[in-house]
Amino acid sequence: MNSNDIIDKLLNGEIKLYQVDREFPADEATDIRRKFLEKKYSISLDNIGNYSIDMQRASARNIENSIGVLQLPMGVAGPLKINGDYCKRDVFIPLATSEGALVASINRGASTITASGGVNTHVISDIMTRAPVIKTESAQQSLKIKQWFIDNFNELKEIAESTTSHGKLIKIDPILVVGSYIYPRFVYSTGDSMGMNMVTIATEKILDKMACETDAHHIALSGNVCVDKKPASINMIEGRGKSVIADILIPKDIVEKKLKTTAEAMQEVNIAKNLIGSAAGGSLSYNAHYANMVAAIFLATGQDAAHVVEGSLGITTAEARDGDLYFSVNLPDLPVATVGGGTSLEVANEGLNILGVAGSGKAREFAEIVAATVLAGELSLVGALAAGHLARAHQELGRG
């Protein structure tokens, strides 16, 4: 059958979208599905069909029922000077966003940081978690299964690590018991991979062992105590992905010159907005807009966009110190990778190359860059609010 025959069969409901891949290479199958949509809805999808990525590779690793690509504007901010444990250099940050004024704001923060001698960054934890939910007959049996995990940790560690050359099981903590349900939180290190698939496979092997030796059975491989792709206090406290902190002391004259305000005004805005306001609203995050920076750099570098909800967790502090400004951000839950997943897509790899962190051995350096970028954006917005410039900036840049 030729492509027109397949499109007619799709329109008539004789075959399903995924079945096109059985008859055609990925790039042709992509075109067929897109043309099917164009014909079905009498629309044009020329821009979705304009791409340069290897669709054969993407279809094997990253997407199903492909029809083309999404394009977003990408800008760059910098130079941003970083004095980190892993990143010790100036960087230019690629940012993919459709929010006007965001790149300009981050650029202003980067300029302020660089003029002040750079931002200090530290990766304080590097873990990935998976927490299944297990069912027993009673709370008493649940406690016995909890003890089974504790008593057999060394053997379970060997089983988990037999499934991967990079992952290491660090601990099982906490092991929550809720009546006849148990939620053990398996904590792994995963190297330069973000590691969700890695820890899922390793945990499944442990559960197979449990099924052989006990009467308990797991209900779901993820029981939501992980906690993956959702905001959660446990991740704020225990950390997940890379846990990173960044801080800087900005001299008084640079605060006034670059941010057009004072350290005292920025301290008051941070307390009133980020701390008290967040608490009053019942937020789990105590910051101005971490999600903006995390989302823009994630999209530019092929990270899992759903993890923006975790990366947006964190607390901003601002202190006036004799006119100077001490400013910090903490990101306890930043799942990032420099290998695997979407990082292998051509555009994403180019974004990582701009940062100099593509490939193995670069994940912690990348995490420090993300934290530094978050501080730049946070610093700029809090400064704009303190100076009363936020609405004016959007107006001058023509943004609604």
pLDDT tens digit sequence for 148-164: 999 999 999 999 999 98
Does residue 344 sit within a domain? yes
Residue 196 confidence (pLDDT):
87
Is pLDDT above 60 for 356?
Answer: yes
Considering the chain, what is the average pLDDT of its residues?
95
Q: Quick one: 387 and 248 in the same domain?
A: yes
Q: Does one domain contain both 31 and 96?
A: no
Residue 350 predicted with pLDDT over 70: yes
Q: Rounded mean pLDDT of 67-88? A: 97
Burial 196-224 (b: 16+ CB within 10 A, else e): bebbbebbeebbeebeeeeebebeeebbe
Is 231 domain-assigned? no
First to last CA, the chain: 50
Question: Using 50, 70 and 90 to split pLDDT, how confident is the model at 195?
Answer: confident
Q: In angstroms, rounded to a whole number, what is the distance separating the alpha carbons of residues 126 and 244?
A: 9
Residues 140 and 203 in one domain: yes
Statement to judge: residues 180 and 113 lie in one domain: no
- pLDDT confidence of 390, banded at 50, 70, 90? low
pLDDT greater than 80 at residue 400: no
Predicted confidence at residue 127, as pLDDT, reads 95
- The confidence score (pLDDT) of residue 187 equals 97
Same domain, 196 and 214: yes
- Could you tell me if 206 and 355 lie in one domain? no
Q: At what angle do helices 346-355 and 363-387 cross, to 10 degrees?
A: 80
* pLDDT given at position 49: 97
**pLDDT at residue 373, as a whole number:** 98
What is the pLDDT, as a whole number, of residue 399? Answer: 55
**Are residues 212 and 246 both part of a single domain?**
no
Summarised one tens digit per residue, pLDDT across range 278-287 is 999 999 999 9
Query: What CATH number has the domain bearing residue 143?
Result: 3.30.70.420
Tokens standing for residue 378: 């946070």
Considering the chain, what percentage of its residues have pLDDT values greater than 90?
Answer: 93
Residues 291-296 have a mean pLDDT of 98
**Assigned domain for 227 exists:** no
The pair of three-digit structure tokens given for residue 282, joined into one six-digit string: 């019942």
Q: Which sequence positions are flagged as catalytic? A: 99, 304, 394
Domain-located, residue 66: no
Q: Looking at the structure, do residues 199 and 308 belong to the same domain, yes or no? A: no
Which has more pLDDT, 167 or 76? 76
Same domain, 361 and 384: yes
> 180 with 272, same domain?
no
Residues 190 and 329 in one domain: no
The pLDDT value recorded for residue 394 is 55
| Domain count for the chain | 3
Query: Strand pairing of 181-189 and 119-130?
Result: antiparallel
Q: State the residue range of the domain holding 280.
A: 74-125+236-396
pLDDT band, residue 396 (cuts 50/70/90): low
Please identify which residue in the block is written with the tokens 């990032």. Answer: 336
Rounded to an integer, what distance in angstroms lies between the CA atom of residue 66 and that of residue 19?
12
Residues 300 and 342: beta-carbon distance below 8 Å: no
